[in-house]
Structure 1
Amino acid sequence: MLKVLKFGGTSVGTVESLRNVKAIVEGLEIPAIVVVSALGGLTDRLIATAKSASEGKEDYTDEMKVIRKRHYDIISALVPEERKAEVIAKVDELLDQLEERYKGLTLIRLLPERTLAEVVSFGERMSSVIVAAMLENASHHNSLDFIKTEKWFNRNIADRGLTEKLIKEEFALPLERHAVAGGFISTDRNTGEITNLGRGGSDYTAALIAAALDADLLEIWTDVDGFMTSDPRIIKEAAIIPSMSFVESMELCSFGAKVIYPPTIYPVFHKNIPIKILNTFNPTAPGTLISDNAPGKGKARGVSSLNSTSMISMSGPLASNVAEINSRAYNAMARNGISVFLVAQPSEEKTFSIAMPQSDGEKALEQLKLEFSPEIQSGELLSIEKTDDLSVIAVVGEGIKTAKGLGARIVETLRGADVDVKAISEGASDTTVAVVLESAKVREGLNLIHSLCFVS
């Protein structure tokens, strides 16, 4: 059985957490592939220091002392004596290169994209070297050699074909020892320049490796016990979800659950490789299994929320033409890089609404007015209005539309508690029923909806 284990920044952030990583990996019966992030919080510090250096400030030298000490302390505490000198030499070489990049930035007073990508890569390059040396019977594998990207509309995206080929060449199966690689980092397939996989990049690295090697299981080790029925900081009765489908996990995360970043799990989703979410700090907890065979379809699986939301409502006769207004609104948003995460179908008042991040609200309003200017002039659209400071609460569960009347019961429950529902969407997805309400009411709304779905 081949497992790929991914450990995030909090899991590799301290000596104590790394001891847990060591116990988890060395407790496996057969060798596995281990993907690690940079030490917790380091990536943000690398970026902040690069920006400071590019402004001509020389405080990067003080920051480098802190970064060096943090890595040295971990090596001192966890790497066996016979391997320490070799590991310190490798990490020193990387730290020296990093300091040179910072020095260069103070001279040119610019921060080119490719230089920033190289700067942030040092986190995973160092952590993976240390973790490989910390573990017994483990080898280090440089992700820059086999995770390849290509340019797509000025973004770096994984070259799936080439990356799969190189992964298969890099990891000979069956494994004879644990294999450790850094997540997130990559190189351009044409230029060889260092790039990265962006948000959720370490999860994506692990998923690419798992998919290429047809692994039996991808384990994502983090600092929570798994997916929960809602945010436990808000809902005291929130409980662990023992199993769920890929679609449910992606929907919950799209609507605010921060366990995984949905696009990163597509490679294993398409290969039907199960994912298990586990807690590095509570390794005996059963976690959440994500697969294509989750039981209990037709029931609510979880409730999540998105804050800082804007909603744009278009009123008039055209709003009744769902196909046209939906297509044109979506295309206008897509052309301008605006993510729409909710569509409320027209009501009896002939109103069509879409919701997006509040940071994109003004731009979205401008583009929709431009797109529908002929209809505004002709009177087919009477108004296009934006409302800010909203939240979306989503109830997620595959086949949830078979729970007849759920949307109506949610609205009735909220309005019975004087929580105004601005919009409801229950037609676009078989997996999600979502409502829009004022952000000031989101905590109350979450508690009411969670009680309706899981308590009453």
Structure 2
Amino acid sequence: MKFGGTSVGDEKCIARVVSILKHHHSTGNELAVVVSAMSGVTDQLHIIAKEAVESLDEPPIETTIHSIRARHKKVLEAVAPGEAETVMQEIDAKLENLRNILTAIHNLRELTPRSKDYIISFGERLSARIVSAALREEGIPSIPLNGCEAGIMTNERHGCANVLPESEQKIKSRVLPLMQEYVPVVMGYMGCTGTGIVTTLGRSGSDYSAAIVGAAIGADEIWIWTDVDGIMTSDPRIIPDARVLPDISYLEAMELSYFGAEVLHPRSIEPAMQKGIPVRVKNTFNPGAGGSCVLSKQHRDKRVVKGITYIDKVSLINITGAQMVGRPGVARAIFGELAANSVNIMMISQASSEANISLVVDDEHLDIAVSALDTVKKGGYIREVTYDRDICAVAVVGVGMAGTPGISGRIFTALGKNEINLMMISQGSSEVNISFIVKENDGIKAVKVLHDEFELSGECEE
């Protein structure tokens, strides 16, 4: 069971988490727990790390540490008064380490990716100790483990590390024996290299941690506890009557999460999918709700489409040139140079004439991508590179789309009737996802139009 930042955000939230765990523990379940940092703490750590390296004056290191300490002390004393003094000593020791590294960064005026990972992992280091103490306070034996102690071994890609295959055996040998006596509480979001250097796993890294641990120990199910009732047909902030999907396939969940659904990260599905372990998404604040279950089984209903989602803060790059036509090596030159510069490509579309290739990248990768393509341009492979920041990507997802005639027609007819202009279309061979690019100010409108077109707010039909 993984609990996100809002689920462990204060003493009331942690008491609720302990209640959930106590209930499932009392029914005979063996549990492993993964926790995120308290909501907002990782953001604080990002900010102070930036200020420590950039500030010409004395950065607010002491103020930040005092704020973090006070918040965790208040929560700890509320949920585990019997252990507060001992655990607070552990927390103070960790905060002293944090103070030292921030001071060193300020003095050196240098923040390396390795140092940044070390700093932003502190939120989980503190929250896991408090959750574990709260369980012990309720008579449930528990032990906190950092990512390295749990056996989560990664490569050296700081900021978004990948878990290595050898992690499975390490986690199995370390976490599984503990579960016979304790409820281990693993610090999410973090792992370590083979030499013990701390790494972080990127956005939604705690979900990834949970999936890795669950797969390694052969869990019956992996439960992701969050602050929504499950995976929904669309973002409820855009579509107030969006509906919870009671079940969804691994592939559909990956496609929805890749294109903006924030409940799960695509990487958190892969380890479970490899082992065929169901992933259940539940609401910590409404534990009685059924939630969503991600399964290998591909369930279809009459509406065909399961969900509509979108991503903003992306950019469209158009690459043109008649010299691209029929010339071997053009794609290799383009994508090789982008890969060499660590540019993440989200969508690709190519005209049948081969004279145009369109790419969608994160906004933060745009400048790097354009610079890399200038190198390709100098090599004579392409003639012109243009780009547009004012766009967003919309995705229509559903296993029922495969082999169902007319879905694309319905999508594009509905958009046309509502005067939404398409700038690029991309469809994978799996036909589970049709995605397209529109102007940024048309993105939310497109989602609403298609959610209505496929009547996704109504109850599920077989």
The TM-score, its normalising length taken from structure 2, stands at: 0.87
| C-alpha distance after superposition, 1:355-382 (max 9, x if no partner) | 2223333443454454366766xxxx77
Q: Equivalent residues in 2 for 1:271-286 (5 A)? A: 271-286=275-290
The 3-state SS of whatever aligns with 1:100 is: helix
**Equivalent position amino acid for 2:363 in 1:** Q
Structure 1 pair 394/10, CA: closer, same or farther in 2 (3 Å)? Answer: same
CA contact (8 A) 1:407 1:424 kept: no
Question: What corresponds to 1:160 in structure 2?
Answer: 165
**Equivalent position amino acid for 1:208 in 2:** I
Question: What corresponds to 1:417 in structure 2?
Answer: 418
Structure 1 pair 428/328, CA: closer, same or farther in 2 (3 Å)? Answer: farther
Q: Measure the CA separation in 2 of the matches of 1:194 and 1:367.
A: 30
| C-alpha distance after superposition, 1:57-101 (max 9, x if no partner) | 25211222211111110011111x432322222222222332333
Question: What corresponds to 2:74 in structure 1?
Answer: 73
Q: Measure the CA separation in 2 of the matches of 1:222 and 1:62.
A: 30
Question: What corresponds to 1:8 in structure 2?
Answer: 4
199, 206, 212: which is aligned to 2:203?
Answer: 199
Q: Measure the CA separation in 1 of the matches of 2:337 and 2:120.
A: 34
Q: Equivalent residues in 2 for 1:48-447 (5 A)? A: 48-54=47-53, 55=55, 57-79=58-80, 81-135=81-135, 136=138, 137-143=140-146, 144-145=148-149, 146-151=151-156, 156-162=161-167, 164-172=169-177, 175-190=180-195, 192-296=196-300, 299-315=304-320, 329-346=334-351, 351-368=356-373, 370-371=375-376, 384-447=385-448
Give the drift of 1:285: 1.3
Q: Measure the CA separation in 2 of the matches of 1:46 and 1:417.
A: 44
Structure 1 pair 438/51, CA: closer, same or farther in 2 (3 Å)? Answer: closer
Q: Measure the CA separation in 2 of the matches of 1:271 and 1:218.
A: 11
CA contact (8 A) 1:256 1:306 kept: yes
**Which region of structure 1 is more displaced relative to structure 2, 12-21 or 192-201?**
192-201
* Identity of matched residues, %: 30
Q: Measure the CA separation in 2 of the matches of 1:19 and 1:323.
A: 62
Q: Measure the CA separation in 2 of the matches of 1:62 and 1:115.
A: 20
The 3-state SS of whatever aligns with 1:419 is: coil
Q: Measure the CA separation in 2 of the matches of 1:243 and 1:442.
A: 26
Structure 1 pair 155/121, CA: closer, same or farther in 2 (3 Å)? Answer: closer
| C-alpha distance after superposition, 1:162-182 (max 9, x if no partner) | 453244234317623322121
Q: Measure the CA separation in 1 of the matches of 2:353 and 2:107.
A: 63
Structure 1 pair 89/246, CA: closer, same or farther in 2 (3 Å)? Answer: same
The 3-state SS of whatever aligns with 1:421 is: coil
Q: Measure the CA separation in 2 of the matches of 1:240 and 1:154.
A: 32
**Equivalent position amino acid for 2:254 in 1:** M
Q: Measure the CA separation in 2 of the matches of 1:322 and 1:434.
A: 28
Size of the aligned set, in residue pairs, is 446
Question: In the alignment, is residue 451 of structure 1 matched against residue 452 of structure 2?
Answer: yes
The 3-state SS of whatever aligns with 1:249 is: helix
**Equivalent position amino acid for 1:15 in 2:** E
**Equivalent position amino acid for 2:99 in 1:** E
The 3-state SS of whatever aligns with 1:276 is: strand
**Which region of structure 1 is more displaced relative to structure 2, 124-133 or 403-412?**
403-412
Give the RMSD, CA atoms, in angstroms.
2.9
**Equivalent position amino acid for 1:8 in 2:** G
Question: What corresponds to 2:30 in structure 1?
Answer: 31
**Which region of structure 1 is more displaced relative to structure 2, 31-40 or 291-300?**
291-300
Q: Measure the CA separation in 1 of the matches of 2:317 and 2:77.
A: 56
CA contact (8 A) 2:143 2:182 kept: no
The 3-state SS of whatever aligns with 1:415 is: helix
**Which region of structure 1 is more displaced relative to structure 2, 48-57 or 131-140?**
48-57
Gap runs ≥5 in structure 1? none
Question: What corresponds to 1:21 in structure 2?
Answer: 17
| C-alpha distance after superposition, 1:245-279 (max 9, x if no partner) | 11111111111111122123322221111111111
Structure 1 pair 414/327, CA: closer, same or farther in 2 (3 Å)? Answer: farther
Q: Measure the CA separation in 1 of the matches of 2:380 and 2:19.
A: 65
Q: Measure the CA separation in 2 of the matches of 1:58 and 1:152.
A: 28
| C-alpha distance after superposition, 1:278-329 (max 9, x if no partner) | 1111111111101101411792111111113322334566777699765554
The 3-state SS of whatever aligns with 1:290 is: strand
Q: Measure the CA separation in 1 of the matches of 2:240 and 2:31.
A: 37
**Equivalent position amino acid for 2:398 in 1:** G
CA contact (8 A) 2:31 2:179 kept: no
Q: Measure the CA separation in 1 of the matches of 2:50 and 2:369.
A: 30
Structure 1 pair 384/75, CA: closer, same or farther in 2 (3 Å)? Answer: closer
The 3-state SS of whatever aligns with 1:51 is: helix
**Equivalent position amino acid for 1:104 in 2:** A
Give the drift of 1:453: 1.9
**Equivalent position amino acid for 1:134 in 2:** A
Gap runs ≥5 in structure 2? none
Q: Measure the CA separation in 2 of the matches of 1:98 and 1:362.
A: 33
CA contact (8 A) 1:13 1:40 kept: yes
| C-alpha distance after superposition, 1:354-413 (max 9, x if no partner) | 22223333443454454366766xxxx775433331111110112523222222221221
Structure 1 pair 312/227, CA: closer, same or farther in 2 (3 Å)? Answer: same
Q: Measure the CA separation in 2 of the matches of 1:155 and 1:18.
A: 27
**Which region of structure 1 is more displaced relative to structure 2, 8-17 or 298-307?**
298-307
| C-alpha distance after superposition, 1:114-172 (max 9, x if no partner) | 33333223221121111011013131132232222333699743233145324423431
Structure 1 pair 357/291, CA: closer, same or farther in 2 (3 Å)? Answer: same
